[in-house]
Structure 1
Amino acid sequence: MTTDPLPRGAAKGTVSAVWAFALVAAVLIGVFSHADYDGAWLSLSLAASVVIALCIQLATQEKRGFVGRLASSVAGALVILAVATGVIYLIH
């Protein structure tokens, strides 16, 4: 039994969902976190982004493109949180 590959829109949606989580987490950390704990919360949000990316990609049940979608999800979350780290440390 052959299955069709994941549609391009769905693949982009799975990646952008992780990016959105990382962005929301970064904003919440910047607004609510105490300056002494920013680094811990940012690293925890990166770990959560990796777990969420794995869960989302496994939930699609599509083997083709799995590594690329997972790598894009995690790399994007890493970039978002790295930029947020710089901004947060400049503000605090």
Structure 2
Amino acid sequence: MTSDPLPKAAAKGTVSAVWGFALVAAVLIGIFSHPDRDGAWLSLSLAASVVIALCIQLATREKRGFVTRLASSVSGALVILAVATGAIYLIH
């Protein structure tokens, strides 16, 4: 029994969900976090992004493109949180 590959729209949705989480986390950290704790919360949100990306990609049960989708999810979250780190430290 062979399964059909994950449709492109679904693959993009799994990646963008992690990016969306990272963006929402960055905004919430920027708004609510104490300036002394920004770095800790941003690191924690990156770790959570990795775990969420793994869970989402494993939930698809599609092994074709797994590494590419996981790498895209995590690297995008890393870029989002890196930009947010710079912006938060400039603001605070």
TM-score band, normalised by shorter chain: over 0.9
Give the Cα–Cα distance (whole angstroms) in 2 for the partners of residues 51 and 89 of structure 1. Answer: 25
Percent identical residues: 88
Q: CA RMSD in A?
A: 0.2
Give the Cα–Cα distance (whole angstroms) in 2 for the partners of residues 16 and 68 of structure 1. Answer: 13
TM-score by length of 2: 1.00
Listed as ranges, the matches of 1:8-87 within 5 Å are 8-87=8-87
Give the Cα–Cα distance (whole angstroms) in 2 for the partners of residues 10 and 63 of structure 1. Answer: 14
Helix, strand or coil for the counterpart of 1:62? coil
Give the Cα–Cα distance (whole angstroms) in 2 for the partners of residues 2 and 62 of structure 1. Answer: 11
Displacement of 1:39 in angstroms is 0.1
Deviations 1:13-62 (A, max 9, x none): 00000000000000000000000000000000000000000000000000
TM-score by length of 1: 1.00
Give the Cα–Cα distance (whole angstroms) in 1 for the partners of residues 49 and 25 of structure 2. Answer: 9
Unpaired runs of 5+ residues, structure 1, are: none
Deviations 1:54-84 (A, max 9, x none): 0000000000000000000000000000000
Give the Cα–Cα distance (whole angstroms) in 2 for the partners of residues 54 and 43 of structure 1. Answer: 17
**Aligned residue pairs, count:** 92
Ranges of 4+ aligned residues in structure 1 off by more than 4 Å: none
Partner of 1:3: 3
